[in-house]
Amino acid sequence: MQKPLNQAFPDRVALVEGEANLTYEDLEQRIGSMASGLLAGSSDLQEERIAFLLPASADYVVALHGVWRAGGIAVPLNVAATESEWEHCLSSTGVTRVIAADEESASISALCDRLAISLIIIRDCGSDHRASFPALSPQRRAMIVFTSGTTSKPKGVVTTHGNIAAQIATLVEAWEWQREDVIPLFLPLHHVHGIINVLSCALRAGATVHLMPKLDIKWLCEQVANDAYSLLMAVPTIYVKFIDYLRDLPTEESRLICEGFANMRLNISGSAACPVEVFDEWQQLTGQVLLERYGMTEIGMALSNLYRGERRAGHVGQPLPGVQIQLVEESGAVVSREGVPGEIQVKSDTVFLEYWGNPDATTAAFVEGWFCTGDIAVVKDGFHRIMGRSSIDIIKSGGYKLSALEIEDKLLAHPAIAEVAVVGVADRTWGEAVAAAVVLKAGATLSLSGLKAWCEDKLSAYKTPKKLVVLEALPRNAMGKVVKPSLKSVF
Ligand code: MLC
Ligand code: AMP
């Protein structure tokens, strides 16, 4: 399934990293060397889980494809996570080797020692002895990406080579990816938006990816003004950041950058709801009509507005090629007419295989072969509109899916906190912001800055509360359960 990347376009530039350009031929050489090194004489890694802690870089791409080519399962780690978060990813999936860059290796080496996992530095991974690589069926497991949800600990979503090929194929077709495309990649590479929609589609199409380890709005705008890119894919928060930046610039400078955006062939928003105001402002500023689409780690992308056709603000469009969608009412009845809301359920080759080591969660996620997303939508004139989620414990902040339960679990260990409830509250930049309501232990005090500092080595920074209220008691119903909807109004 993992075909060589260089067959049709060896001389084209695949990756740009700083001043360096890597052609498809160069990349293929490095992947071959990496895969041979990982195999170290064996013929197939037989789904060995190999994690990597690498920022967006050619090294990352080489590690990902090297693991795939050698028959392993790739487990990309969040470079900004805490040690306890890495520990969960590594131990729950039985990772045996971690590949890291020089800079990142120090932060994970003690953990690898403790878990008896071998830590290898990427530059030491390759081998000059070219191995022959295993033939991989579409059913073979390829990747585990962690997703937060309605359980305290993130779940490992397993996709096969067939799933990944289908996720890429539907987007290459729907958005008409072409080898002339050039796209910046600033999204995190431990989630499907960055891994599949940007990186993998570009490489499948023979396009060029500009890798950047961090979002830098000013630098990106300079590139855009020089017509460096044909495509842009981002979460709504990033469009808000672009809008704020452009609005603050002198008119002429802003005009040049906006013209650059106008010259692109496509700007896409996804991973969280794009507010109609952001859609409208982007169009006013740049002339670009944002294409909004809907997806999920477990299913890749499922719904999308049309590349050639109407793109409706506040809507996520129609099913992508090869993806079947049904809306299902709470009663279990399939919605048969427009205007009736129901849970989005998906059937497609793009849908994941299983949650790693969690057959109960896997079984619970499917009904008669349909994957139940937990997202509620309604259809009008054939366009799907996302109305919300069935669980209040899932928060979408800047495109990251966060579990209120995971954050509550961590905060409960704080010495001043007796009770805690976490909710997402509406926020212009982040979509939803993490907000914590706490009841303190007798005599204790707590400030937001103190809480943030305490969270530093326990939670990734984007999970830490942005708002804090101290209450005498949490609002609870007759069963003693915290009434979270009423808590939102407290903020
Ligand atoms: C950063 N911060 C966040 C945050 N990102 N806070 C809440 N939510 C977030 N998402 C905080 C940091 O903790 C820090 O806080 C401050 O903002 C500045 O940090 P930064 O790292 O400099 O921020 P920035 O680089 O601007 O990052 C913002 C961002 C990033 C939007 C680029 O969040 C991001 O890459 N989001 C995309 C996530 C994504 O790819 N999701 C797709 C999942 S897959 P402090 O207090 O220290 O100042 C999926 C399926 C699908 O959803 O459909 O695609
Ligand atoms: P993740 O589990 O991180 O892949 O996040 C997937 C979730 O993001 C979906 O279940 C939706 O709740 C949300 N999502 C993705 N795209 C959109 C969108 N365009 N509009 C609203 N929500 C979205």
pLDDT of residue 4: 75
State how beta strands 400-403 and 394-397 pair.
antiparallel
Q: Is residue 441 part of a domain?
A: yes
Q: Is residue 473 part of a domain?
A: yes
Which ligand is closest in space to the CA of residue 150?
2
pLDDT of residue 8: 73
State the Cα–Cα distance between residues 327 and 324, nearest whole angstrom. 10
Which ligand is closest in space to the CA of residue 234?
1
Q: Which atom of ligand 1 is nearest to the CA of 297?
A: 50
Which ligand is closest in space to the CA of residue 191?
1
Cα-to-centroid distance, 405 and ligand 2 (Å): 18
Q: Is 369 left (phi over 0), alpha (psi -120 to 50) or beta?
A: left
Judge if the beta carbon of residue 172 lies within 6 A of ligand 2. Answer: no
In this structure, the residue with its CA closest to atom 26 of ligand 1 is 215
Domain residues for the domain of 444 are 394-488
pLDDT of residue 2: 61
Cα-to-centroid distance, 35 and ligand 1 (Å): 32
Residue among 462, 464, 467, 468 whose CB has most ligand 1 atoms within 8 A, to mutate: 462
Cα-to-centroid distance, 260 and ligand 2 (Å): 28
Q: Is residue 181 part of a domain?
A: no
Cα-to-centroid distance, 380 and ligand 1 (Å): 32
Q: Is residue 99 part of a domain?
A: no
Cα-to-centroid distance, 184 and ligand 1 (Å): 17
In this structure, the residue with its CA closest to atom 3 of ligand 2 is 401
Residue among 211, 242, 400, 425 whose CB has most ligand 1 atoms within 8 A, to mutate: 400
Cα-to-centroid distance, 398 and ligand 1 (Å): 5
Report the CATH number that the domain containing residue 410 is assigned in CATH. 3.30.300.30
In this structure, the residue with its CA closest to atom 48 of ligand 1 is 461
pLDDT of residue 260: 98
Judge if the beta carbon of residue 389 lies within 6 A of ligand 2. Answer: yes
Task: List the chain pLDDT tens, one digit each, 491 residues.
Answer: 567 776 778 899 999 999 999 999 999 999 999 999 999 999 999 999 999 999 999 999 999 999 999 999 999 999 999 999 999 999 999 999 999 999 889 999 999 999 999 999 999 999 988 899 999 999 999 999 999 877 778 999 999 999 999 999 999 999 999 999 999 999 999 999 999 999 999 999 999 999 998 999 999 999 999 999 999 999 999 999 999 999 999 999 999 999 999 999 999 999 999 999 999 999 999 999 999 999 999 999 999 999 999 999 999 999 999 999 999 999 999 999 999 999 999 999 999 999 999 999 999 999 999 999 999 999 999 999 999 988 899 999 999 999 999 999 999 999 999 999 999 999 999 999 999 999 999 999 999 999 999 999 999 999 999 999 999 999 999 888 999 998 998 99
Q: Is residue 9 part of a domain?
A: no
Cα-to-centroid distance, 14 and ligand 2 (Å): 29
The residues, any chain, with a CB within 8 Å of residue 80's CB and separated by 6 or more, are: 188, 460, 461, 462
Q: Which atom of ligand 2 is nearest to the CA of 316?
A: 19
Which ligand is closest in space to the CA of residue 192?
1
Domain count, the chain: 1
Which ligand is closest in space to the CA of residue 295?
1
Cα-to-centroid distance, 397 and ligand 1 (Å): 7
Q: Is residue 182 part of a domain?
A: no
Cα-to-centroid distance, 148 and ligand 2 (Å): 12
pLDDT of residue 203: 96
Which ligand is closest in space to the CA of residue 238?
1
Find the residues whose C-beta lies inside 6 A of ligand 1.
187-188, 191-194, 214-215, 235, 237-238, 270-271, 295-297, 397-400, 430, 461-462
Q: Is residue 463 part of a domain?
A: yes
Cα-to-centroid distance, 110 and ligand 1 (Å): 27
Residue pair 290/268 in contact (Cβ under 8 Å)? The answer is: yes
Q: Is residue 64 part of a domain?
A: no
Cα-to-centroid distance, 461 and ligand 1 (Å): 9
Judge if the beta carbon of residue 159 lies within 6 A of ligand 2. Answer: no
